[in-house]
Amino acid sequence: MARLGLLHLRSTDLPVRITPLLRRLYDWTIDLAAHRHALWALAIIAFVESSIFPIPPDVVMIPMILAARDRAWKIAAVCTVASVIGGLAGYGIGHYLFEEIGRPMLAFYHYDAKFAAFQETYNQWGAWAVFIAGVTPFPYKVITILSGTTGLDLPVFMVSSILARGLRFFIVAALLWKFGAPIRLFIEKRLSLLFIGFCVLLVGGFVAVKFVG
Q: Which residues contact 43 (CB under 8 A, 6 or more apart)?
A: 78, 79, 81, 82
Say how far apart CA 124 and CA 33 lie, in whole Å: 39
**Which residues does 83 contact at the CB level (< 8 Å), separation at least 6?**
46, 47, 49, 50, 57, 140, 161, 165, 169
Share of the chain above pLDDT 90, in %: 31
Is residue 109 within 8 A of residue 16, CB to CB? The reply is yes
For the chain, the structural domain boundaries read 12-212
Tell me, what's the pLDDT at 169?
Answer: 93
Where would I find the beta strands (DSSP E) of 58-198? none
pLDDT at 213: 52
Task: Work out the widest C-alpha separation in the chain, in whole angstroms.
Answer: 55
What pLDDT score does 122 carry? 73
DSSP state of 53: -
Q: Summarize pLDDT for 136-173 with one digit per residue, the tens.
A: 777 888 889 989 988 889 999 999 999 989 989 999 99
Per residue in 81-126, pLDDT (tens digit) is 999 999 999 999 999 999 999 888 888 877 777 676 667 667 777 7
